Structure 1
Amino acid sequence: MSRLLFRADGNAQIGLGHVMRCLALANMLRDDFSMRFAIAEPTYTIENQIEATGLAVLSLPASGSQLAFINQIATDEIVVLDGYTFDEAFQRSVRSKARKLVFIDDLVTGHQVADVVINHAGGVSADEYDAEPYTQFCLGPHYAMLRPEFLRPEGFAKPSIDGPIFVSLGGADPENRSLEVLQGIQKVDRHLPVQIVLGPFHPNRPAIEAFQSQLPNLTVLQNRSASQMVDTLQACSLAITASSTISYEVCAINRPLITVVTADNQIRLARFQSEEKLALSVLFTTYLTNQIPVLGLDEQIRLAIQSIQPTSEIVSDSLLAQRHFFDGQSPSRFRALFRNLSA
């Protein structure tokens, strides 16, 4: 059996996006490959999550992790990198030892030396990259790296009109923007049912739980499995998420969506989702212009919710666009790609 070696990190500072994309890809390829996952000083929770996907965990030291990783590469392994610290020099070192190199990207910066570059953000073309002549590109939502529970070619049931509002702002949410989102929902109607899913690195769960006095139908959830997330999303009438992989999971489930830009690296994805009507994006222009917003996030959320009514043209156009871009076929595309790399 051919072998894959994944390399990504996840912690309270950078969140879990890199790790989750790799695990989603690993899930798609688990029947065809033997797999390992290298990560610097993983927490107990993250290590368990990786092992639950069927990967052996290779724990690296925080200091000197790049050299330690290179020394672990076997010549018959395809290496998959996902992270912002893996520059051109490091990638060349990895590629010199590995069978093939695959790089998961969302920044479109630097010179690319990988055999394959994967960027599942929409609106990206190969012409935007500076790359080697041999580099192959897999771009856009047809290469969405989502967990298998979210990938159903037959689709999901229609959204509920009176279901709860789903909220999730990623694995870390260091600025606790989740609380501002809840404050915006409360301004619309304090009796609205809301289910918020906090990531494992959320900095202040007590503050979220304390807000239940202001939003009495708020349910606080954490550390949800993929199947539990699917069930929660299927029941919701509206989702409010970060402009990250979680927003793609909502699109795959096909639900009305408001996205919040919480980091610079989400701008490209937010622009695509806004232009293609996949979602309403808030804080988008703030990150583009680096200007203080006229309205706070709570007010922007209030206005966005009030503009999204179940029978509105905004919702119908959005659901149609989501079905167009998320066809549930990315596993077959990735299996074909990696089988060819290992041939």
Structure 2
Amino acid sequence: MPAAGILIRVDGNHAIGLGHIFRMRALTQRLIGNGFPVALAVRRETPGEMVLREAGLTVHGLADDEAFLPLARNCGAGVVILDVLNTSADLLRALRQTGIRRLVTLDDEAGGLEEADLVINAIVSLAGRYDAAACRAQLYEGPAYMILQPEMVRSGLPRPAPDRARRLLLCFGGSDTRGLSARVLTALGALPGPLDLHLNLGPAALQDEELISARMASPHPVTVMRGVPDLAACFQGMDLVLCAGGIMLYELATLGVPAAAIASELHELATVDFFAGAGCALDLGYYATLELNDLTVRLASLLDSAARRRDMARYGPLLVDGKGLERCVRLIGGLAA
């Protein structure tokens, strides 16, 4: 088994989405570009494994979670990065005992705060949920440390805001775990035209009967896309993007693209509230309590307000400057050197 200076543990599938996979892909590629040997460990036969292998990266497929510790023991890594949410202190101690020199965790309000060397908590919903002052690890927090795809970091003026938003993109992540595309298409169907709707389906998203029915019933034209080669350019070509409350909100903010977001998980409620409070997104609520009539009314108001959309485009890049990848590479590179 080839030695890896850095070993990254990450997962992604239909249930949990692919956001962690995409950001670890970006981190891996940048670390390799800086001269560090990197390998990734991911559950076998999952969409996450497929995405990483298609990128030409060194990937170890795991039969189960228990297979990771033996891999870490034998692969020769000096640094282990865990992007798995709230790591176990027992796992981190066990990794130390295998001879791992440095431990890094992301999105961690659990074991990493005491047992890791470095914790990067870019997700804003984690703020205030742990005692940062008592953290033994080096701790870096907030959107300044969000790892985005390099293509999402672009300069230039935002798209001019038309009097009424017409070009709308529905983009609910790599898997759309809550079936939000169908519900939003139905809500938009109650609005007058002309509307030019675009639906981007991620690699793990399923086009089920509900979505097909909503698309066929829409009075507005719906362009279905999958595997968009330049998603950033696609975002920038839209008057408004409708999304969930994950990493995509950070991407849209740094690009200066107006957003309307639905929290698809409880922890996303705080993220959506944060971006709405900063003026760069409209909070459409929680998926489980979503009322289609209310959704239609709130979207109609935003579509008709060029001033609100201009403010969103202006405030977004001030909140997320897009330099999180470089900051994280410097921090991790310092540990691995």
Measured against the shorter chain, the TM-score band is: 0.7 to 0.9
| CA distance in 2: counterparts of 1:2 and 1:65, whole angstroms | 17
1:143 to 131, 142, 145: 145
1:254 shift after superposition = 1.0
| CA distance in 2: counterparts of 1:300 and 1:3, whole angstroms | 52
Range with greater deviation from structure 2 (194-203 or 301-310): 301-310
Cα RMSD for the two superposed structures: 2.8
| CA distance in 2: counterparts of 1:210 and 1:195, whole angstroms | 16
Deviation readout 1:65-111 (Å, 9 max, x if unpaired): 343443344242x21111147312112222443221111116x3456
Answer yes or no: is 1:187 the counterpart of 2:187. no
In structure 2, relative to structure 1, the CA distance for the partners of 1:110 and 1:276 (3 Å cut) is farther
1:214 shift after superposition = 2.4
In structure 2, relative to structure 1, the CA distance for the partners of 1:187 and 1:126 (3 Å cut) is closer
| CA distance in 2: counterparts of 1:125 and 1:174, whole angstroms | 25
Q: Which residue of 1 aligns with 2:261?
A: 259
Deviation readout 1:242-297 (Å, 9 max, x if unpaired): 0001222111221111011011221231221122222111224x7xxxxx74x61x
| CA distance in 1: counterparts of 2:69 and 2:228, whole angstroms | 34
| CA distance in 2: counterparts of 1:155 and 1:121, whole angstroms | 26
Q: Which residue of 2 aligns with 1:224?
A: 228
| CA distance in 1: counterparts of 2:157 and 2:76, whole angstroms | 41
Q: Which residue of 1 aligns with 2:73?
A: 71
Deviation readout 1:104-156 (Å, 9 max, x if unpaired): 116x345622111112123755893468754112211111211110023x345
In structure 2, relative to structure 1, the CA distance for the partners of 1:205 and 1:193 (3 Å cut) is farther
| CA distance in 1: counterparts of 2:204 and 2:152, whole angstroms | 23
Q: Which residue of 2 aligns with 1:333?
A: 327
Are the aligned partners of 2:87 and 2:105 in contact in 1 as well (CA < 8 Å)? no
| CA distance in 1: counterparts of 2:111 and 2:277, whole angstroms | 26
| CA distance in 2: counterparts of 1:156 and 1:89, whole angstroms | 48
The letter of the residue matching 2:42 is I
Uncovered stretches (5+) of structure 2, i.e. residues with no partner: none
| CA distance in 2: counterparts of 1:223 and 1:42, whole angstroms | 19
| CA distance in 2: counterparts of 1:300 and 1:98, whole angstroms | 52
In structure 2, relative to structure 1, the CA distance for the partners of 1:180 and 1:313 (3 Å cut) is same
For the residue of structure 2 that corresponds to 1:175, the secondary structure is coil
For the residue of structure 2 that corresponds to 1:38, the secondary structure is strand
| CA distance in 1: counterparts of 2:160 and 2:28, whole angstroms | 29
1:323 to 307, 314, 317: 317
Are the aligned partners of 2:88 and 2:110 in contact in 1 as well (CA < 8 Å)? no
Range with greater deviation from structure 2 (166-175 or 116-125): 116-125
Are the aligned partners of 2:170 and 2:198 in contact in 1 as well (CA < 8 Å)? yes
| CA distance in 2: counterparts of 1:59 and 1:30, whole angstroms | 20
The letter of the residue matching 1:270 is V
Alignment of 1:69-108 (within 5 A): 69-76=71-78, 78-84=79-85, 86-96=87-97, 97-105=99-107, 108=109
The letter of the residue matching 1:224 is V
Range with greater deviation from structure 2 (49-58 or 252-261): 49-58
Q: Which residue of 1 aligns with 2:117?
A: 115
For the residue of structure 2 that corresponds to 1:255, the secondary structure is coil
In structure 2, relative to structure 1, the CA distance for the partners of 1:90 and 1:132 (3 Å cut) is farther
| CA distance in 1: counterparts of 2:258 and 2:128, whole angstroms | 30
For the residue of structure 1 that corresponds to 2:269, the secondary structure is helix
The letter of the residue matching 2:45 is P
In structure 2, relative to structure 1, the CA distance for the partners of 1:232 and 1:308 (3 Å cut) is same
1:29 shift after superposition = 2.4
Uncovered stretches (5+) of structure 1, i.e. residues with no partner: 287-291
For the residue of structure 2 that corresponds to 1:26, the secondary structure is helix
Aligned residues: 329
| CA distance in 2: counterparts of 1:95 and 1:155, whole angstroms | 46
2:169 to 166, 186, 192: 166
For the residue of structure 2 that corresponds to 1:308, the secondary structure is helix
For the residue of structure 1 that corresponds to 2:40, the secondary structure is strand
Are the aligned partners of 2:199 and 2:223 in contact in 1 as well (CA < 8 Å)? yes
2:239 to 237, 240, 250: 237
For the residue of structure 2 that corresponds to 1:118, the secondary structure is strand
For the residue of structure 1 that corresponds to 2:5, the secondary structure is strand
Answer yes or no: is 1:299 the counterpart of 2:293. yes
Task: Give the TM-score normalised by structure 1.
Answer: 0.85
In structure 2, relative to structure 1, the CA distance for the partners of 1:299 and 1:310 (3 Å cut) is closer
Q: Which residue of 1 aligns with 2:39?
A: 36
Range with greater deviation from structure 2 (158-167 or 251-260): 158-167
Are the aligned partners of 2:5 and 2:77 in contact in 1 as well (CA < 8 Å)? no
Are the aligned partners of 1:18 and 1:82 in contact in 2 as well (CA < 8 Å)? yes
| CA distance in 2: counterparts of 1:111 and 1:82, whole angstroms | 11
Are the aligned partners of 2:4 and 2:75 in contact in 1 as well (CA < 8 Å)? no
Are the aligned partners of 1:120 and 1:142 in contact in 2 as well (CA < 8 Å)? yes
Q: Which residue of 2 aligns with 1:289?
A: none
